[in-house]
Amino acid sequence: MSDAALQDPSLSPLVAQTVPIDDPGPLVSLLPAQGNLAWIRDGEGLVGWGEVARLDIDGAERFAAADSWWRGITDQVILRDAVRAPGTGLVAFGSFAFADAPGTSSLVVPEVVVGRRGDLAWVTTIGIGAIAAPPELRARRSPSLPAGVVFADGAVSGARWESIVADAVRRIGAGDLDKVVLARDLVAELDAPLDVRWPLQQLVAEYPRCWTFHVEGLFGATPEMLVRRERGLVTSRVLAGTIRRTGDDEHDLALAGSLARSSKDLEEHEYAVRSVAEALAPHCSSMNVPESPFVLHLPNVMHLATDVTGVIAPADNQPGTDALGLAAALHPSAAVGGTPTAAALALITEIECMDRGRYAGPVGWIDAAGDGEWGIALRSASVESDRVRLFAGCGIVADSRPAAELAECQAKFIPVRDALSP
């Protein structure tokens, strides 16, 4: 386990000041080329830049260590918040590794955060021991287009991945487990380092109902909310069960009906919903778990979806019940790992043949009140200068067919792949 912080909360407290502002325009247009952070949906959300504190950590205790570090910061922060809404005041953006090892997880406290929610807009400036001057907010120079993008298979070819899926189906048939989520990667080589603002702008425009994010080189547009905590109310959007769209509205409507009746997809979805409900139940005084899913329509695919909601128990204000602690309790859900969890994770390690890094881990933000939003880093990619790794995965159950799962995986690459193609 390792950590590195620019600011030690025991030495000098952070000071955060939030003030209301006029509409700043599209949030993504405010981002500088370097050091930017983003969490945007339907024009609302948070963007940030600069850095006054950070924590980098790995290992099985990464969530607990991050939560403890954040509580140490927030216990001493000096807040001057004229807006007082979730996401105002002190905020940290974060992304976490999928597995205990390998992988590094990070929390970052930016110097500037700009937010929008409904008719409210605000800017927060954060400094060490003093309030920094609010920046002038204006649209930045347009990002550079990706140059010379060439895609290639990542760790395994499509044919090899189909054989891995077939192996998983055999294990499920033998009774080793009920479900496992298997992922693969695609590599994009560019002629020059990627300006991540370009794909962020494309994703914000093309997938407005998803949460477009960027934290520490991990970007994407996830349709799945692992957990939102807002003033004691908790929501988790569970997605499992997918079918590709054709672009023909009438045909897609028929496909949506077949998805809603598919025993294979309903079984996969049930495992995911159950795992989320069981993880949240100990922290909630009441919960609502719908009996049947709805079909979520996205530009490239349709998913079976269920919104699980709950109320945090009034006396439960202990470590682990803020947004980050709840994300830790939920990760990995059956939607990204499998059922039973231990058997699924062991099989992923054995046969998947790649390091997921932060793919399918929690990504999002938390504020000083413990409210926040943590999505699952799906439809995502990691940037390493002029090389980008795209990720996609599928839930495998007893009735899964390898060729169909590969086709589903290809459909899930589309959002980021298209966003990298000028």
DSSP 7-72: --TTTS-EEEEEEE-S--S-GGGG--SSSEEEEEETTEEEEEE--SEEEEE-STTHHHHHHHHHHH
The answer to whether 361 touches 337, Cβ cutoff 8 Å, is no
Please, which residues have CB within 8 angstroms of residue 346's CB and are 6 or more apart in sequence?
Answer: none
Report the amino acid identity of residue 338.
Answer: G
Spatial distance between the Cα atoms of 241 and 305, rounded to a whole number of angstroms: 8
**C-alpha torsion sign, points 168, 171, 173, 178:** negative
The answer to whether 183 touches 224, Cβ cutoff 8 Å, is no
Q: Please write the tens of the pLDDT for every residue from 273-284.
A: 999 999 999 999
Spatial distance between the Cα atoms of 252 and 24, rounded to a whole number of angstroms: 37
Spatial distance between the Cα atoms of 15 and 188, rounded to a whole number of angstroms: 41
CA neighbor of 83 nearest in space, from 44, 122, 114, 57: 122
* Residue 216's pLDDT band (cuts 50, 70, 90): very high
Spatial distance between the Cα atoms of 384 and 82, rounded to a whole number of angstroms: 39
Alpha-carbon dihedral of residues 78, 84, 89, 91, nearest 10 degrees? 140
179 part of the active site = yes
E strands, 118-178, are 120-128, 150-153
pLDDT, position 185:
98
Q: Please write the tens of the pLDDT for every residue from 133-146.
A: 788 898 899 999 99
If you average pLDDT over every residue of the chain, what do you get? 93
Quickly count: other Cβ atoms within 10 Å of residue 104's Cβ.
Answer: 16
Q: List the Cα angle 253/258/259 in 5-degree steps.
A: 95
Spatial distance between the Cα atoms of 401 and 165, rounded to a whole number of angstroms: 8
Question: Is the backbone of residue 385 left (phi > 0), alpha (psi -120 to 50) or beta?
Answer: left
CATH topology of domain 14-139+147-419: Anthranilate synthase (3.60.120)
Does position 422 have pLDDT exceeding 90, yes or no? no
Q: Please write the tens of the pLDDT for every residue from 236-248.
A: 999 988 999 988 9
Between 138 and 188, residue with greater pLDDT: 188
Spatial distance between the Cα atoms of 322 and 229, rounded to a whole number of angstroms: 7
Spatial distance between the Cα atoms of 393 and 161, rounded to a whole number of angstroms: 11
Spatial distance between the Cα atoms of 422 and 198, rounded to a whole number of angstroms: 9
DSSP count for the chain of H helices, then E strands? 8, 23
Spatial distance between the Cα atoms of 54 and 21, rounded to a whole number of angstroms: 27
pLDDT, position 315:
56
Spatial distance between the Cα atoms of 213 and 201, rounded to a whole number of angstroms: 11
Q: Please write the tens of the pLDDT for every residue from 379-416.
A: 999 998 899 999 999 999 999 999 999 999 999 999 99
Does position 318 have pLDDT exceeding 80, yes or no? no
408 part of the active site = no
The answer to whether 96 touches 331, Cβ cutoff 8 Å, is yes
* Residue 11's pLDDT band (cuts 50, 70, 90): low
Q: Decide: residue 307, CB within 10 A, 0-12 exposed, 13-18 middle, 19+ buried.
A: middle
Q: Report in angstroms the alpha-carbon separations of 410 from 156, 200, 294.
A: 14, 20, 23
Distance of CA 73 to the CA centre of its chain: 23
Question: Per the residue annotation, which of 111, 162, 216, 224 is the catalytic one?
Answer: 224
Question: Per the residue annotation, which of 162, 179, 216, 408 is the catalytic one?
Answer: 179
pLDDT, position 326:
95
Q: Decide: residue 255, CB within 10 A, 0-12 exposed, 13-18 middle, 19+ buried.
A: middle
* Residue 317's pLDDT band (cuts 50, 70, 90): low
